[in-house]
Structure 1
């Protein structure tokens, strides 16, 4: 199709209608680009399409679908999701990681001040998010963190084109798949890293139980190991289950594309940047220390983040698969068919959005539209049974550091560039990243105040 899939499919929907059937090899794919139809399939048909599409890449890296993101809808998935929502990703748990975010934001600010100009903002943001996620999951920074970060850069490989996915009955295609062989090598390396990490935590838990009788504090791995030993499980939890969840957390938690796009859009829109900085600097005036609770009162910043998720959703095509045959608006959707809701297209539907191509945070003023998946023109975290459980963690990793960066620095593009010169090219994959890294020049606004 040439263009990135979400753009090409949006263009096709304007020509052929809001629900399209594509036959790709042996696989039927249904693409939905209408808010009305999206609401129907994600409410009335939600259970019927609650599975994820099968993919060699996802199966290989994510431990045969033992994670949350790519697992089929089954008892194992329901149990692991409940554990994650109740004991790892709740509002209370996300707030408990606040001291980690504060420490890492302070390091980020110091690092930016010490860098020459221009510097690679994309890499800086990746370093911040990976450190926050590693400390929340494992307590400390992993020795192999850089290796895990490299795994984050293989999105196009794991989610890219694979002929064997289009002809699942032809098993020999998997044998000759170059992608699968590369991913198997990565899986072996990933396995060795996570095995060492799990064994260290098991020894630590045994030691603390022996010495103290209870844990002083728990990180994400500790929670999963504790649940593994619980006697009230419906489905046993294996080490591979834990490794799959941890890899989920790390890939999602270190994803910087939303943050990267937010800084890009602010650089492209000086009016929005100036308005945001004025709000932040007025709110933080005279403060010696900036708390996360202060950020919650920044109304315009919240509008910017909402608009950023509209224009650049982390996942542009919401992937589902039919667990059973179902009917949508008179069309029969066959068993095993892939169903993709084009979130990117919904967020740019002119029926719901005035000037949808313009980055305009003010559109969310006095609006009841939120992140919770009930307004189907705006579902950046999905909707229904497969709604993203990591929403709170993801937003906290954006709004707090973004406020700090806009407070502490004035921002410019490298010499000779103006805001219209910024390259907005995309790399298609599971998530849509910027094709080229973002380079910026930062001038300290008030160096005497630390993050």
Structure 2
């Protein structure tokens, strides 16, 4: 027999064995329920303009665990708390990384942030730093003076606008401005100009829009040239160029200006990070790229999500006058005649807190949690899931699951009375801030901003719809995008309350 043929036998055998194994794995993956797909694009056309709603509808037909083919990539969509609990308990670390794409690479400042960076030692150190030095309960509390000052300015602006024209205020714009000014202040310092704050707000909105933008390379790697042809490459480069220039200017001028305004004991995030660069006990080298990544995370993730929730809160209060009265009565009871509600009183506001919980149950600001990707092969619900399979969790659908919520479509804050259900990741059917090792570390910071603003807006003013507008006229549909803000802008008529 030909010696070349004899030598080729083991190679040929290995080749067919590999083909057989791949076919078997493919068959196992195919068992995961999957909607019919089109050639080349797969299921991309089924995402719709508001993906969390489209995917929820698809899950009603194909089950709470679906396999979608989004261009070249396998993507599991989970719409069931039970399945997420299995994933987190058994495979949290397996799904601890993020899919790296052209877009996430840019947004993560070349893998130097927390939100988008891949799983690894660098990410773990960054998250530990954020939790310990930036977002600890002590740090959040130390920034109460900044929240109080910015809130006073918001209330003054509302009062001033009320006295003009027909008394109608553009509350959505005011809330967006308030959150932007507060977050840029506590992160970058009080010396940041109004122009710089507006620029950061614009960059935050642009980043949220970009996350929703479909780049060809991110779905079809071989078609990355189309991103250049369609101008998407230029759009992303312009965004990163403007962002980096803004950030570099702040770093360059920060040392002198921040000390001049704040003195040596500044408590702003950027001061803490710059001080930590010289801390040999930190455990790793904190570079300028790390600082940029962390700052970008907190500004970009913090502004739009916090503002969206606050806007939904005011919307639901106006739609539910009886609940508005309950919130106001509770505020008057704890305020004891004071003009403003202080943060020390927030712990006594039981109804306000359950009201906010109900808002984020029905209107989570991040309805689809940022996608994860499997680091190795694993099993979910008995299905074999290959390495590099993407995972999307539809947290919006969880809030509408009848297995966990009675009358889920109804707005009922009272459902949280006498309940230990919380949003901190232990209750898998209520995870607006994420779950597992990728849970948002800034939830406590965000919630105190929302609670103190909402408490004082309701305490200081009586709110109503403009003349001729009814509750039925309020459109509750979301904007298209990764952040679920309300599409219709909120305009209301405030009247100063008699506190005493």
TM-score normalized with structure 1 length: 0.93
Q: Which residue of 1 aligns with 2:296?
A: 247
Task: Please give the residue correspondences for 1:216-295 in structure 2 after superposition, counting only pairs within 5 Å.
Answer: 216-255=265-304, 256-295=307-346
The answer as to whether partners of 2:216 and 2:223 remain within 8 angstroms in 1 is no
Q: Give me the whole-angstrom Cα distance separating, in 2, the residues matched to 1:434 and 1:222.
A: 34
How far 1:164 moved relative to its partner? 1.7
Are 1:442 and 2:491 matched, yes or no? no
Q: Which residue of 1 aligns with 2:385?
A: 333
Task: Please give the residue correspondences for 1:95-106 in structure 2 after superposition, counting only pairs within 5 Å.
Answer: 95-106=141-152
Q: Which runs of 5+ in 1 are unaligned?
A: 209-213
Mean Cα displacement is larger for which, 329-338 or 177-186? 177-186
How far 1:288 moved relative to its partner? 4.9
Larger Rg computed on CA atoms: 2
Task: Please give the residue correspondences for 1:30-429 in structure 2 after superposition, counting only pairs within 5 Å.
Answer: 30-115=76-161, 116=164, 117-143=167-193, 144-154=196-206, 155-176=208-229, 178-203=231-256, 215-255=264-304, 256-318=307-369, 319-429=371-481
How far 1:186 moved relative to its partner? 1.7
What's the CA shift string for 1:11-65, capped at 9, x where partnerless? 1111111100001111001000111101011221100000123333332233123
Q: Which residue of 2 aligns with 1:211?
A: none
Q: Select 1:22's aligned residue among 57, 60, 68.
A: 68
Mean Cα displacement is larger for which, 344-353 or 284-293? 284-293
The answer as to whether partners of 2:475 and 2:488 remain within 8 angstroms in 1 is yes
Q: Give me the whole-angstrom Cα distance separating, in 1, the residues matched to 2:401 and 2:441.
A: 26
Q: Give me the whole-angstrom Cα distance separating, in 2, the residues matched to 1:20 and 1:103.
A: 48
Q: Cα distance 1:204–1:422, how it changes in 2: closer, same or farther (>3 A)?
A: closer
How far 1:235 moved relative to its partner? 4.1
Q: Which residue of 2 aligns with 1:430?
A: 482
Please give the root-mean-square deviation of Cα atoms over the aligned residues, in Å: 1.9
How far 1:428 moved relative to its partner? 2.4
The answer as to whether partners of 2:425 and 2:436 remain within 8 angstroms in 1 is yes
Which structure shows the higher helix fraction? 2
Q: Give me the whole-angstrom Cα distance separating, in 2, the residues matched to 1:442 and 1:128.
A: 17
The answer as to whether partners of 2:355 and 2:413 remain within 8 angstroms in 1 is yes
Q: Cα distance 1:73–1:89, how it changes in 2: closer, same or farther (>3 A)?
A: same
How far 1:229 moved relative to its partner? 2.4
Secondary structure in 2 matching 1:441? strand
The answer as to whether partners of 2:108 and 2:115 remain within 8 angstroms in 1 is no
The answer as to whether partners of 1:58 and 1:159 remain within 8 angstroms in 2 is no
TM-score normalized with structure 2 length: 0.85
How far 1:203 moved relative to its partner? 5.0
What's the CA shift string for 1:339-373, capped at 9, x where partnerless? 01110111110011011111110000001101211
Q: Cα distance 1:141–1:12, how it changes in 2: closer, same or farther (>3 A)?
A: farther
Q: Which runs of 5+ in 2 are unaligned?
A: 1-45
Q: Cα distance 1:32–1:289, how it changes in 2: closer, same or farther (>3 A)?
A: closer
How far 1:331 moved relative to its partner? 1.3
Mean Cα displacement is larger for which, 338-347 or 219-228? 219-228
Secondary structure in 2 matching 1:296? helix
The answer as to whether partners of 2:341 and 2:452 remain within 8 angstroms in 1 is no
Q: Cα distance 1:387–1:283, how it changes in 2: closer, same or farther (>3 A)?
A: same
What's the CA shift string for 1:285-310, capped at 9, x where partnerless? 32255321112201000001111110
Q: Give me the whole-angstrom Cα distance separating, in 2, the residues matched to 1:204 and 1:416.
A: 49
Q: Give me the whole-angstrom Cα distance separating, in 2, the residues matched to 1:236 and 1:112.
A: 45
The answer as to whether partners of 1:134 and 1:141 remain within 8 angstroms in 2 is no
